[in-house]
């Protein structure tokens, strides 16, 4: 029996590690949301007052300011959407509607049969190939993992952009309109650079833009 003890102890250790890993994964998703909440609250407060565009429009008589004020509102929204995506998919990307339909069929019937099915629905061959490629991609991402500390780092770095937006919003009506426009242009460029260079934000962009639309599969009114 003594010979079995080391093996039993090893199995018990592995079991404990697995349990702790599950508990950590379960905690990280809400923890990520809690980290993001202060940023979201500030942005929602600004949106509730009309955003940068709305407050600027109320305080200054400047034509064509929407080119920058609306763009700034849009860029900060894009940043928050991607951060939310990272939080909600850190332990895997759930299959969306098209993948839910195609992945089981591909497993059961194979590419050739599904290709014929899609063509019979009215898709061109190239469209069908893209849909199948996306389904395979979605399946491969179902259990992909993101590092929680890296998501935390992205959220922390995003804080400066949100703080600058809040400061800019508070200055509207208090300083010259040209100053607000100049600061808006700089902040837009900074956010755009961050979106284009941060690896995790780029990953969020690539994964979300791969999702196609197909009314022939889902009943969606949008065409591909």
Encoded tokens for 196: 């284009």
Encoded tokens for 20: 């702790």
C-alpha to C-alpha distance for 183 and 166, rounded to whole angstroms: 12
Q: CA torsion angle for 119, 121, 123, 125 (degrees, to 10)?
A: -10
Q: Collapse the DSSP code of 77 into the 3-class scheme (helix H, G, I; strand E, B; otherwise coil) and give the result.
A: helix
**Whether 56 contacts 65, CB under 8 Å:** yes
The pLDDT value recorded for residue 217 is 85
Instruction: Provide the residue range defining the domain that includes 102.
Output: 94-143
Mean pLDDT by 10 residues, the chain (224 residues): 48 45 49 95 97 96 92 98 97 94 96 95 93 95 95 97 98 96 97 98 95 80 44
Last residue of a domain, one of 110, 143, 176: 143
Instruction: Kindly state whether residues 185 and 125 are assigned to the same domain.
Output: no
User: Token match 């992945």: residue?
Assistant: 103
Q: Which residues contact 159 (CB under 8 A, 6 or more apart)?
A: 38, 39
Instruction: Kindly state whether residues 127 and 26 are assigned to the same domain.
Output: no
The pLDDT value recorded for residue 28 is 58
Q: In terms of Cα–Cα distance, which of 160, 151, 166 is closest to 32?
A: 151
Q: In terms of Cα–Cα distance, which of 79, 75, 78, 72 is closest to 54?
A: 72
Q: Is 222 within a domain?
A: no
Instruction: Kindly state whether residues 33 and 128 are assigned to the same domain.
Output: no
Instruction: Kindly state whether residues 63 and 113 are assigned to the same domain.
Output: no
Instruction: Kindly state whether residues 119 and 135 are assigned to the same domain.
Output: yes
Q: Which residues contact 98 (CB under 8 A, 6 or more apart)?
A: 131, 134, 135, 138, 211, 212, 213, 214, 217, 218
Instruction: Kindly state whether residues 26 and 47 are assigned to the same domain.
Output: yes
The pLDDT value recorded for residue 220 is 62
Encoded tokens for 172: 């509207």
Encoded tokens for 50: 């009309």
Calculate ∠ Cα 164-169-175, nearest 5°. Answer: 105
Partnered with residue 172 across adjacent β-strands are 175
C-alpha to C-alpha distance for 186 and 183, rounded to whole angstroms: 5
The pLDDT value recorded for residue 30 is 76
């Amino acid at each position: 029996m003594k010979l079995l003890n080391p093996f039993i102890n090893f199995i018990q250790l592995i079991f404990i590690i697995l349990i702790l890993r599950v508990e950590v994964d379960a905690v990280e998703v809400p923890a990520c949301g809690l980290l993001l909440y202060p940023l979201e609250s500030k942005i929602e407060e600004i949106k509730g007052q009309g955003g940068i565009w709305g407050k600027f429009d109320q305080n200054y008589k400047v034509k064509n300011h929407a080119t920058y004020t609306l763009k700034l509102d849009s860029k900060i929204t894009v940043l928050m959407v991607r951060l939310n995506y990272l939080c909600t998919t850190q332990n895997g990307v759930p299959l969306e509607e098209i993948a839910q339909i195609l992945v089981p069929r591909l497993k059961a019937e194979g590419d050739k049969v599904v290709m014929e099915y899609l063509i019979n629905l009215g898709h061109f061959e190239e469209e069908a190939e893209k849909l199948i490629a996306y389904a395979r991609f979605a399946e491969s991402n179902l259990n992909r993992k993101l590092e929680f500390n890296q998501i935390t780092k992205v959220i922390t770095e995003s804080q400066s952009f949100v703080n600058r937006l809040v400061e800019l919003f508070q200055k509207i009506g208090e300083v010259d309109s040209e100053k607000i426009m100049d600061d808006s242009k700089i902040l837009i460029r900074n956010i755009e650079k961050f979106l284009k260079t941060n690896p995790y934000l780029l990953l969020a962009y690539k994964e979300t833009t791969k999702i196609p639309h197909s009314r022939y599969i889902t009943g969606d009114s949008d065409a591909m």
